[in-house]
Amino acid sequence: MQEPTFLILTALATGPKHGYGVTQEVAELSEGTVKLRAGTLYGALDRLVEQELVMVDRQEIVDGRLRRYYRLTDAGAGKLAEQARRLRKHAEAAESRLQARPNVAFGFTATPFGARP
C-alpha cells in the first residue's frame, strides 16, 4: 500500500467523507505536504472499494452536483491499523540507525574524500 492510499484510509478513520473532503483532510493531516490530485484520489478510492477496505456510505445531490460519501469497512480499519504499525516500525528502525551514525548530525558535516558537494 502506498502513501496516498494510506492517507486516504486515515482520513476516513474519523468518519465518512466525500472525495473532495478526503483531499482536504489529507492535506491537513500531512501538514500540507500531500495534495491529492483527482486522478490519484478517485483511482485509489475505486480500488479500495473493490478491495472492500472502503465502501460507499451514501450519496447526495447538492446544488445539482453529486456528492458521494465513503467510509471505512471493518476490514479497512484493520488494514490501516496493521499498516500504521508497520510504518511506525520502519520509521523507528531508520531513526535509531541514523542516530548510531556518527557524521551528518545536523545537515552537512564531513563529506568523505572524493564526494561532491
Partner DNA sequence: CGGTATATACCGGCAAACGTAATCTACCTG
Partner DNA sequence: CAGGTAGATTACGTTTGCCGGTATATACCG
Close Cβ partners of 55 (under 8 Å, ≥ 6 residues apart): 49, 70, 71, 73
Residues 53-92, one symbol each (x = binds DNA by CB under 7 A, - = not), give: ---------xxxxxxx------------------------
Contact positions with its own copies (CB under 8 A) in 5-34: 6-7, 9-10, 13-14, 29-31, 33
Own/partner long-range contacts of 70-79 (Cβ < 8 Å, ≥24 apart): 70/12, 70/16, 70/17, 70/18, 70/19, 70/22, 70/45, 71/12, 71/15, 71/16, 71/17, 72/9, 72/12, 72/13, 76/9, 76/12, 76/48, 76/52, 77/13, 79/1, 79/9, 79/53
For residue 65, the minimal CB distance to its own copies (Å) is 25
Find, among 58, 86, 73, the residue nearest to 12 by Cα.
73
19 binds, among its own copies, DNA, none (CB under 5 to 8 A by kind): DNA
Residues 35-54, one symbol each (x = binds its own copies by CB under 8 A, - = not), give: -----------------x--
Residues that bind DNA (CB under 7 A): 1-5, 18-21, 36-44, 47, 62-68
Residues that bind its own copies (CB under 8 A): 2-3, 6-7, 9-10, 13-14, 29-31, 33, 52, 55, 72-74, 77-78, 80-81, 83-95, 97-98, 100-101, 103-104, 107-109, 111, 115-116
